[in-house]
Structure 1
Amino acid sequence: MSSMRRETDVILIGAGVMSATLGSLLKELAPEWEIKVFEKLASAGEESSNEWNNAGTGHSALCELNYTSEKSDGTIDVSKAIKINEQFQLSRQFWAYLVNSNLIRNPQDFIMPIPHISLVQGEKNVTFLRSRLEALSNNPLFQGMEFSEDPEKLKEWTPLIMEGRTSNEPIAATKIDSGTDVNFGALTRMLFDHLKSQNVELNYKHSVEDFKRTNDGRWEVKVHDIEGGNIEYHTAKFVFIGGGGGSLPLLQKTGIPESKHIGGFPVSGLFMVCNNPEVVEQHHAKVYGKAKVGAPPMSVPHLDTRYIDNKKTLLFGPFAGFSPKFLKHGSNLDLIGSVKPNNVLTMLAAGVKEMGLTKYLIEQVMLSNEKRMEELREFIPNAKSEDWDIVAAGQRVQVIKDTEAGKGTLQFGTEVVSDADGTIAALLGASPGASTAVHVMLEVFQKCFPERMNEWEPKLKEMLPTYGMSPVEHPELFHQVHTSNSQILGLSVEEPVFA
């Protein structure tokens, strides 16, 4: 086994949508920088970014009810929904910039317009949904959203869901036509094709084994060339760890103080996929319901129209499961291997606090196919077992850390962890993840390249016209940008008129 040593400016670990986004941004902001990518699988976008391993929703809080919560006084807190939508708009603007600049082509291969619908049952939930719309109605990000509890109108919006429905329980929905279906696997592959054309070195079947800080402040990364059997040492000024669920073990290997007292809990997922084209054609929307009482936010049931391999598909889920693996192609030792002396108390505290999650996962793992069909029939009353197959989705690792809320707090979201001098950063967490990739990378820039932000600002504003602005405070600019980007990305629907 031979070894070799090389130097570069930037190392990106993991060939998913996060590394692809960071690399693409850096090539616009600092084109002279040399970038290398290391991925242990044979191609890009094969783990969390793969189209079969995520929901494919352009997460913008148009239909995801877990981003809005009801306060004790009955009012609706929409602050998180607004924040998520603003973040998604930045991703959308960057994709439009890439297409308009001919850096990537054929946007219909990765993004399609699709109505986003929230559907609820029960008087209390109907009241909540109506109040939610009222709270969002004055925000330009959500204009064009409709509410209805008229069964005939709901049949127009969701014929497959309303057909055969016999319950007298109140039912209501909101619908907005500016939602999207995003094939993050296809997007990831497009971005890496673009990076390859920009002389970024892509190294597949290369596994990162360890990290060492050099005397001059750089990082030496030990890499195993799986196919060749060689050990390589690559030194870089900046390292980004974007390995999905595999980021936590790699972050721990860096030994930086910021990696301490952080744990991870893996959650696997299953989706039901419709194999009957006639059924698929009866539905055209992403329909999100409410998570059941006691269920975690990532368990929100949804019935999704998806476009995969240029084919319209229909998925329902997710059904949660448990595997000790941190990645779909990971090891059964991942979870136990992530428990260290510095985080064992954090992990134990989370275990005590999250008994409800543990109970939920056990129940999910024990579900039979018929029980899954019963849950599907809450959405599609006439669903037939023979029309649906099961597909295994990706692994997600929920971050566990000590916070003001207490020791061992389970985090639902995406988090950037970096060292004090900004030479290395890792991305941890799950949803909304890929949808907010550009916002996440701006956070990486602010933490790791603060001295360059003034220099980069003109280019950032060229790529992201609403960068640093609030759409609420600049509705005309937002409308102009949104309309233009819709045309560039092939998403043009009837745009809402802003006052």
Structure 2
Amino acid sequence: MSDSRAPLDVVLIGGGIMSATLGTMIQRLQPDWTIRIYESLGEVAQESSNPWNNAGTGHAALCELNYMPEGKDGSVTPDKAISINEQFQLSRQFWSSLVEKGELPNTFITSTPHMTFVRGGENVKYLRKRYAALKDQPLFAGMEYSEDHKVIREWAPLLIKERTREPIAATRITAGTDVDFGALTNALVDGLTERGAELWLNCRVKSIRRTKEGNWRLKVKHTVGNTPHTVDARFVFVGAGGGALHLLQSSGIEEIKGFGGFPISGKFFRTTNPKIVAQHQAKVYGKAAVGAPPMSVPHLDTRVVNGQASVLFGPYAGFSPKFLKKGSWWDLPGSVRSGNIGPMLAVARDNGDLMKYLISELLASRAKKVKALQEFMPSAKSEDWELITAGQRVQVMKKDAEHGGVLQFGTEVVAASDGSIAGLLGASPGASTAVPIMLDVLQKCFPQQWAQWEPKLRELIPTMGTTLNDQPAKAAQVLEETAKVLGVEQ
């Protein structure tokens, strides 16, 4: 069965935060364009955007040590951390504008201090240097540092209770946030459909092919009833998380050649014990184990989902060949192509530490997992914590002239040269930077419309195209204004 109507203007594949953000932008820029969202599951935001499939951290590099690694010479530079924070401010401004217009509730975001915590003399020295590099940066205003057990106990009692007098250090910044990206996605999609966009649930896009007219023909299978149909679109965005690689490969665009994916699954310990939850109101990040990917940085987090507070610890990395939590066991082998097998083998050759780490995680017993928790929270008792399975992440592997192939831990926008199709690969820092990533998609894919759209986008995101960290007064103003609108004032 084919859709007999004229080609749709926009098809968004995947009902997560990326598609919801891009669709919301396009609808405001071109309200006359037809938009359809295809989601393979029965609800939106059930994969990476589901609140239990991600850490919920408003990633602004306030606490994530992997954005400021120590150089071989011992130096620590703030550039990457500042860049991540700048991106998060664009997301905050976009959300704030929608809240001010009454088009988005502010219940998806909660004020939650962000902390770092390290143990041992060398790690304390590192954190001291990191603090020195960040404390005077305008976007990190208010960051505190301490090596005093008594002070750290006041910030986060669970870190100190029953701990010996070993060297420790922590930073804290009270401007951090916890974000329910599932609630945010649902609210954005509700707004899209209220203004005319179509949402097709239980519909899996199987392939994408170019038509002789230059549009894209999508073959879609209804997962309920198994009825197939085809539809044509002028522009396609593949925001299908781990499923994006297969669909971009099916499109045959030159730009996807050489890309591969390495799936990593994750698990968290979770407790809703009110005595524990009441003692911890922070997101506390530590240092990753040797060979661990950035998504495996250990952290003890306050979470607020549907108004209910809990505490999570993890993640514990695992492996599955699935590219989505509800994907297929054939996802990984099915992604191998003649153009990417070389880069994939090169990545395997050069990442022995990662392989060793993943194997050790797969073999770890519950007792070993509890011991890792107790390194953060010495008083933790196994019976208070349940192990939950979080989401699947697919790290990007791509060609590299020097190494043959490299493993990339960030996100990558892959777009056809004519801008008619684009997709997003990778994970970290993901949902928190959905707004700047989707601005990048718009600029790459719609260069002719960009000049006309820019003023409209600036109404929603006033500092778009500029930076805040080099404007202290402006940075303070924007932080204060968005905090007030979003209800995360300190």
- TM-score bracket for this pair, using the shorter chain length: over 0.9
Q: Secondary structure at the match of 2:425?
A: strand
Find the counterpart in structure 2 of residue 497 from structure 1: none
CA distance in 1: counterparts of 2:314 and 2:402, whole angstroms: 30
Find the counterpart in structure 1 of residue 428 from structure 2: 431
Find the counterpart in structure 1 of residue 101 from structure 2: 101
Find the counterpart in structure 2 of residue 23 from structure 1: 23
Deviation at 1:50, TM superposition (A): 0.2
Go from structure 1 to structure 2 and tell me whether the alpha carbon gap of 1:432 and 1:316 turns closer, same or farther (over 3 Å shift): same
Q: Contact (CA 8 Å) 1:263, 1:400: kept in 2 or not?
A: yes
CA distance in 1: counterparts of 2:125 and 2:230, whole angstroms: 60
* TM-score, normalised with respect to structure 1: 0.96
Find the counterpart in structure 1 of residue 130 from structure 2: 132
CA distance in 1: counterparts of 2:163 and 2:223, whole angstroms: 54
Greater CA drift, 421-430 or 465-474: 465-474
Find the counterpart in structure 1 of residue 380 from structure 2: 383
Deviation at 1:3, TM superposition (A): 4.1
Structure 2 residues without counterparts, runs of 5 or longer: none
Greater CA drift, 129-138 or 280-289: 129-138
Q: Contact (CA 8 Å) 2:138, 2:470: kept in 1 or not?
A: no
Structure 1 residues without counterparts, runs of 5 or longer: 494-499
Q: Contact (CA 8 Å) 1:268, 1:393: kept in 2 or not?
A: yes
Q: Contact (CA 8 Å) 1:206, 1:223: kept in 2 or not?
A: yes
Residue type at the aligned position of 1:31: P
Find the counterpart in structure 1 of residue 65 from structure 2: 65
Q: Contact (CA 8 Å) 1:466, 1:478: kept in 2 or not?
A: no
Q: Secondary structure at the match of 1:10?
A: strand
Q: 1:119 aligns with which of 114, 117, 120?
A: 117
2:338 is equivalent to residue 341 of structure 1: yes
Q: Contact (CA 8 Å) 1:218, 1:238: kept in 2 or not?
A: yes
**For residues 97-147 of structure 1, what are the alpha-carbon distances to aligned partners after superposition, in whole Å with 9 as ceiling and x for unaligned?**
111011112x12x10000000001111111111111111122211010000
Deviation at 1:216, TM superposition (A): 2.7
Go from structure 1 to structure 2 and tell me whether the alpha carbon gap of 1:488 and 1:293 turns closer, same or farther (over 3 Å shift): same
Go from structure 1 to structure 2 and tell me whether the alpha carbon gap of 1:405 and 1:487 turns closer, same or farther (over 3 Å shift): farther
Q: 1:268 aligns with which of 243, 265, 269?
A: 265
**For residues 21-55 of structure 1, what are the alpha-carbon distances to aligned partners after superposition, in whole Å with 9 as ceiling and x for unaligned?**
00011111111111001011001000010001001
List structure 1 segments (4+ residues) > 3 angstroms apart after TM superposition.
2-6
CA distance in 1: counterparts of 2:374 and 2:341, whole angstroms: 42
Q: Secondary structure at the match of 1:392?
A: strand
Find the counterpart in structure 1 of residue 155 from structure 2: 157
2:370 is equivalent to residue 373 of structure 1: yes
CA distance in 2: counterparts of 1:382 and 1:456, whole angstroms: 54
Find the counterpart in structure 2 of residue 299 from structure 1: 296
Greater CA drift, 121-130 or 418-427: 121-130
CA distance in 2: counterparts of 1:329 and 1:180, whole angstroms: 29
**For residues 358-396 of structure 1, what are the alpha-carbon distances to aligned partners after superposition, in whole Å with 9 as ceiling and x for unaligned?**
111111011111100000000110111100000000000
CA distance in 1: counterparts of 2:310 and 2:153, whole angstroms: 20
2:45 is equivalent to residue 45 of structure 1: yes
CA distance in 2: counterparts of 1:405 and 1:291, whole angstroms: 27
Q: Contact (CA 8 Å) 1:38, 1:204: kept in 2 or not?
A: yes
Deviation at 1:65, TM superposition (A): 0.3
Q: Secondary structure at the match of 2:391?
A: coil
Q: Contact (CA 8 Å) 1:264, 1:399: kept in 2 or not?
A: yes
Find the counterpart in structure 1 of residue 141 from structure 2: 143
2:177 is equivalent to residue 186 of structure 1: no
Q: Contact (CA 8 Å) 1:208, 1:224: kept in 2 or not?
A: yes
Q: 1:208 aligns with which of 205, 209, 214?
A: 205
2:275 is equivalent to residue 250 of structure 1: no
Q: Contact (CA 8 Å) 1:206, 1:225: kept in 2 or not?
A: yes
Residue type at the aligned position of 2:75: T
CA distance in 1: counterparts of 2:238 and 2:221, whole angstroms: 16
Residue type at the aligned position of 2:277: V
CA distance in 1: counterparts of 2:437 and 2:484, whole angstroms: 25
CA distance in 1: counterparts of 2:287 and 2:72, whole angstroms: 18
Q: Contact (CA 8 Å) 2:243, 2:323: kept in 1 or not?
A: yes
2:346 is equivalent to residue 364 of structure 1: no
Residue type at the aligned position of 1:80: K
Residue type at the aligned position of 2:141: Q
Find the counterpart in structure 1 of residue 446 from structure 2: 449
2:195 is equivalent to residue 218 of structure 1: no
Q: Contact (CA 8 Å) 1:5, 1:232: kept in 2 or not?
A: no
